[in-house]
Structure formats: C-alpha cells, structure tokens
Amino acid sequence: MQIPVEGFMYPNEVELQWSVLIVLYPFITGLVAGAFILASLERVFRVEAVKPTYRLALLTALAFMLVAPLPLQLHLGHPERSLEMYLTPHRSSAMAMFGFVYLWYLMAVLLLEIWLDYRHDIVVLSQTERGWKRLVYRVLTLGSSNVSERALRIDERLGYFITLIGIPSAFLLHGYVGFIFGSVKANPWWSSPLMPIVFIFSAMVSGISAVMLLYMFSTRLRRREIDMRCVDTIARYLLYTFIIDFSLEMLDLIHRIYEADESFRSLDFMVHTRLWMSQVIVQILLGTVAPIALLGLTQFLRFSDLARKGIYVLAGCLTMIGIFAMRWNVVIGGQLFSKSFLGYTTYKMSFATREGLLTAIALMILPFVILWVLVKLLPPWPESASLPGSGAAPAHGAS
Amino acid sequence: MFKDIEHLIRLAVVIAIALVAFVILRAAVVPHSFGQYGHYRGAAIGEIASRPVAFAGHDTCEACHTDVVDQKKLGKHVVVACEACHGALAKHADDPGSVQPGKLDTAVVCARCHEANSAKPKGFPQVATADHAGGLACDTCHQPHRPKIETEGKK
C-alpha cells in the first residue's frame, strides 16, 4: 500500500508507528483519572450535590482502568512480554515505569476505595443473594461480615484517607501519560513541559462529562428522576475545568506562536492543512468553544429543567468528541510531519486488523460492558446503597 | 479491640500473600544471570558467542573466486562485500562441493540499495527501478560485479 507523502520524509517517518489504538490509550486513561477526581470531589471536598454520582464515578473509573492497558498490549508484537516490566523493571524507561503507576492506582487506590465503600453492601448481599452470586460476594467479604458501626466508621475514615492519596495518584496517572509524550524531545509537537498539565485537565474534563452523561443515561434507563441539583453542579465543575483546560491549551499555542522556533512553520502548515478539520474545527470549535459556550449560557440565563438537560447532554457529547480529537491530534498529528520540517505523511487507518478501526471500536465498547457487569454486581444507585449507620435495608433495585 | 478492624487485617494478609507470591514468582522466572553486566541476561553473551558463524567474510571468498574479484576491482562495487549481495555463505565456504549458493533475484537484491529515495545522499547512484528496468532483471543489462555499462559493449 502506497502511503501518500508530500515533500520530504525520512524513510522511517513515512509509515505511522502509533496507530488509533495509541489514541485510545490517553483517551481511556483520561476518563479514569477524570471520573475518579469527580468522585473525590464528593469525598474530600464534601460537595454533597454530586453524591448520586459518587459510586457510579468509581465504577466507571474501574471499568475504564481495566481496559486502559489493552490498546498498548495490542500494539505490542509480544504482549505477553509486557509483564516482564514488573519482573525486571527498567528505571530509565518512562513507559516501563507507567506499569507501576498503573498498578499502584488500580490496586492501592481504586480497588481499595471501592471495596471499602461497598463493604457494607457486599456483606448484606452475601447474606441475601443465592447461588454463584452469593459465592462471589462471600469471597469479596474476605470472610469477615463485621458491619458494626465502628467498623464502618473506620472504613469511612480509611476511605477518606485513600481518596486523599488517590487525588495526587490520579494526577500522577494521567500526568504521566502526558509526560510520556511531553518528554519526547525529538518531537516538537509533543515536547513541552505543559503537556502533563494539559493532559490532566483535559482528563478531568472528559471524565467529568463522561460520568455526567452516564449518570443521565442510566437514570433515564432506570426510569428515575434525574437529580437536577446534581447535574447542575457537575456541569458547573465541568465548565470550570474546561475553562482552565482551554486556557492552558491556548497558553501553549500562544507560546508556540510567539516563540516561533524552527519547527513552527512546519507545524503551522500542518495545522492549516492536514489537521485543520480535526484540530481547528472538531477539537477547538466544536469540542471546546461550543461546549464552553453552551455551559456558560446555563450560568447566565435561566432555562427549564428539560432545556438544561438537553444542553448538558449536547455539551457532554461535544466534549467527549473534542477530547477524543485532542488525543487524536496529539498522537497522530505528532507523527504526520517530518523531523526535517520539509514534508508530511498521511495516516491510513486499517479496518479489521490488530490495530485497526474495528479493534478500536471494540475497545471503546468493552469498558461499557465491564461497567454493566460491575453495576449489576455492585449497584451504585442510592436506593440500594445504605449509608454507614443509616441502617437502610438494601433493595434489589438494579436487578 | 481488633474485632472491628478484622476485615482490614484480612485484607492486609491477602495483600501480603500476593506480595510474597510475587517475590517467589519473580525469583523463579527471572534468569539468574540477569543484571550481571546490564539490563539483560548475562548468559546471553555466551549463548550468542557459541552460535555458528554465518558469514565467512570477504577475504575467504576471494581466495577461491579470483575471477569475480578481478571483475569487481574494475567497478564501483569493489566497495561492496560479497555477502552483502549473496547473503551469509560460511557453510558454502567451508564445503563448496556440497553447499551451493542459491540464485539471487536481482530485482530484490539491487533495489535494496539502489531504489531511489530522497533521503539517500545525492551522489549515490539510484534509480526508480520500476521505470528504469521495466520489469527486466537488473543483470540482463548490468554485470552485477561490475555494474557500469560501458558504451563499447558489456561483459
């Protein structure tokens, strides 16, 4: 297959090595970090309004976390060897160290926090459920069914502490992904110390809007009322983080334009040609300016509940598209130009191959399947969640 | 006292077991010579060194194929080693009677170096093989060992 090349490319630049799957990697990891940070809002900063989404956000983070390394595995020729980074860690490799950041976040933060938060429910379910489900819950209780008030209070305090550690960990997780790109000094499109920070804020943006959408859709599916105070608050936080995110990206842009180093003309040309659609139209106009304007409007004008819901869904969807486009433009855009700054290549996405579109779609569906299973196993809805000490009996609302 | 943190103690035990299992697994699967010299298996050096030599080297070929050497001396391919085109032939050099080198496909061999590419130095002779050869094998016109085509006649 001949790849259309314009101008001068070095031979090893013609074919893109990092495919659409590597676009998914920061996208999915970002959702994990963002969803978790939303959950910690409730826990650490005591934003009561977002409580209905607390558990859903944690489960969302877990579902996406489990899928996050898969695009990387599929990219490797020998995926099974990736486990060797735990056995013989190479400290000078940023990518190898990501394995530890990932493991820390999954094991020490997410799983632990979910377990502590759900322990009461798990114990109750292990006594009320039947069959194989009972067995699962029994294993999850670790053989201790102590849900005394004091035990739950200890859980609560420990959970708070873990969330405290979790916030910097979530920043680390996604900041690290930004670092992996930002530290590639050979690539002027990536190499920037702002990269980790931009990644963190865009992660928060995507995670918050994903949880907002999931909350709205799942509530709809369950035929319950959407808690408007909750979505209003989430939308407000989404707007704030989005403004910070956008400012950072513009800061990066202005910096580049004013600095105008030797790569500038080439990158500028690329943005005006190959990336025009995905960067300027989709990422900036549709995916950033439009949702910020929509969300901003709800702050200044009074809309009915129904109109606000519509605006939030629209803004949320645009946000997801915009953040995906941002990942795309970083990963794919960074490989379209030549290091000689004299030529441009093209990314041709394959379809039914290991790194093709079909795989990417499957990988994007998988977290939702996992989330569905998790939600069945550990219902996050408030009516089935009995708060510590409240003693409410668990209902089987979600089954 | 410990009754209310019993579940946490159980959790700690699970984590401890997992860690111990990891350490044992690691000790079992990481090769002993790993890290002896650097971030690789030290014993790998010996294993690689003990592998049979595949390339005989230019000088070895020249001892027998003097006619080719004489041809090669007259053209610019004098700088190209025999096995760069013919591939590893140590087995043939050891026992030329029983191991015969295979025929080369010039469309592949010559294009490997001479296919036009703007990243190659300007002075290096290069052609767009599809246009240049028109489907013919390169050695219908070029003598591989002395590739320049002289005007008064080839060979």
For the stretch B106-130, pLDDT in tens is 989 999 999 988 778 889 999 999 8
The number of C-alpha atoms within 13 Å of A375 and in the hemisphere containing its C-beta is 22
Q: From CA A116, how far away is CA A54, in angstroms rounded?
A: 13
Mutation choice for B interface testing from A87, A104, A339 by most B CBs within 10 A: A87
Contact A321, A286 (CB under 8 A): yes
The average confidence (pLDDT) of chain B is 90
Please state, in angstroms and rounded to a whole number, the distance separating the CA atoms of residues B118 and B129.
14
List all residues 6 or more positions away from A264 whose beta carbon is below 8 Å from its beta carbon. Answer: A256, A257
Q: Residue A38: exposed, middle, or buried by beta-carbon count in 10 A (0-12, 13-18, 19+)?
A: buried
Whether A390 contacts chain B with CB within 8 A: no
Predicted local confidence at residue A395, as pLDDT? 40
* Interacting residues of A157 by C-beta distance below 8 A, sequence separation 6+: none
How close is the nearest chain A Cα to the Cα of B104, in Å? 25
Contacts of B128 (CB under 8 A, 6+ apart): B115, B116
State residue A398's pLDDT score.
Answer: 37
Chain B residues whose beta carbon lies within 8 Å of the beta carbon of residue A90: 39
Contact B5 A154 (CB under 8 A): yes
Cα A389 to Cα A113, A147, A392, B16, B90: the distances in Å are: 18, 9, 8, 31, 81
Compute CA distances A284 → A188, A276, A310, A388, whole Å.
Answer: 20, 10, 21, 44
What is the CB neighbour count within 10 angstroms for residue B155?
Answer: 6
Find the mean pLDDT for residues B76-87. Answer: 94
The amino acid present at B154, given as its one-letter code, is K
Closest chain B residue by Cα to residue A91: B39
Question: In chain B, what residues touch A115 (CB-CB under 8 Å)?
Answer: 11
Residues 6+ apart with CB under 8 A from A138: A126
Q: Which of A8, A10, A143 sits opposite B10 (nearest CB)?
A: A143
Q: Measured between CB atoms, which of B10, B34, B119 is closest to A10?
A: B119
Residues of B with CB under 8 A from a CB of A: 3-8, 10-11, 14, 22, 25-26, 29-30, 34-35, 39, 117-119
For B12-41, the pLDDT digits (tens) are 999 999 999 999 999 999 999 999 999 999
Domain ranges of chain A: 17-331+349-397
How many inter-chain contacts (A to B, CB under 8 Å) are there? 41
Task: Compute the radius of gyration of chain A from its Cα atoms.
Answer: 22
Answer yes or no: are the C-beta atoms of A62 and A29 closer than 8 Å: no
The DSSP secondary-structure symbol of A18 reads S
Q: Which of B2, B4, B40 would best serve as a mutation to test chain A binding (most A beta carbons within 10 A)? A: B4
- pLDDT for the residue numbered B39: 92
CB A61 within 8 A of CB A29: no
Sign of the CA dihedral running A118, A119, A120, A121: positive
Q: How far apart are CA B127 and CA A341, in angstroms?
A: 25
| pTM for the structure as a whole | 0.81
Query: What pLDDT is attached to residue A4?
Result: 86
Give how far Cα B50 sits from Cα of B37, B46, B47, B53, Å: 18, 6, 5, 9
CB of A154 within 8 Å of a chain B CB? The answer is: yes
Give the pLDDT score at A392: 37
Q: Is A14 on the interface with B (CB under 8 A)?
A: no
How far lies A250's CA from each of A151, A291, B136, in Å?
A: 49, 16, 57
Would you say residue B96 has pLDDT above 70? Answer: yes
- Between CA A291 and CA B120 the distance in angstroms is 48
> Among B15, B23, B39, B118, which would you mutate to test the A interface (most chain A Cβ atoms within 10 Å of its Cβ)?
B118
Smallest Cβ–Cβ distance between A142 and the set B11, B30, B119 belongs to B11
Q: Over the Cα atoms of chain B, what is R_g?
A: 29
Residue ranges of chain A with pLDDT lower than 70? 1, 382-399
